A = this chain, B = another copy of it.
Amino acid sequence: MPKIKVGIADTTFARVDMGAMAIDELLQLTSKIEVVRYTVPGMKDLPVACKILFEQHDCAICMAIGMPGPADKDKICAHEASQGIINCQLQTGRHIIECFVHEDEAETPKELIEVCENRSRKHARNIFYLLFDKKWFIKNAGKGLRQGFPDAGPIKA
């Protein structure tokens, strides 16, 4: 049976190699997929990278990995990239799991790397569930799941 292609789009701008983490997690989870990695300069190049992964590499799903800096300009960049990623999904009818870690999400380098590791691996698992076990999400609907940090959990009255 031919393997299902999963696109991993990431950047040279990012300061942590989350692409490698996500790929490692995916390949540990299953041998039924083949990863196509497409690295681009920055976040704003991710939407078209995913479009190319869908159209030219026939990926069934993508992950878009980016790491916005702490400045206002970087936040706007991330916003523009996110809009493009959503538009790309609407045009292709396929999922792109956005895995962005903002540089100011942690206080120390060590913590930041942990956020990156946790988020990229958990989102790799989300891709696995989207491909092979969509019911897993229904079971966890409204459960306050988080990627990068511990789950927030459901709100209790």
Contact = CB atoms under 8 A, between A and B. Distances in A.
A88 interface: yes
Nearest to A19: B141
B15 A109 contact: no
Q: How many copies does the complex hold?
A: 5
A18 B142 contact: yes
B88 A73 contact: no
A10 B156 contact: no
B12 A142 contact: yes
B113 A157 contact: yes
Measured as residues with beta carbon below 8 angstroms from the partner, the interface class of chain A is: 35 or more
Contacts of A17: 141-143, 154
A130 B126 CA distance: 29
Q: 7 shortest A-B CB distances, which residue pairs?
A: A17-B142, A39-B137, A48-B89, A15-B144, A84-B86, A12-B145, A110-B157
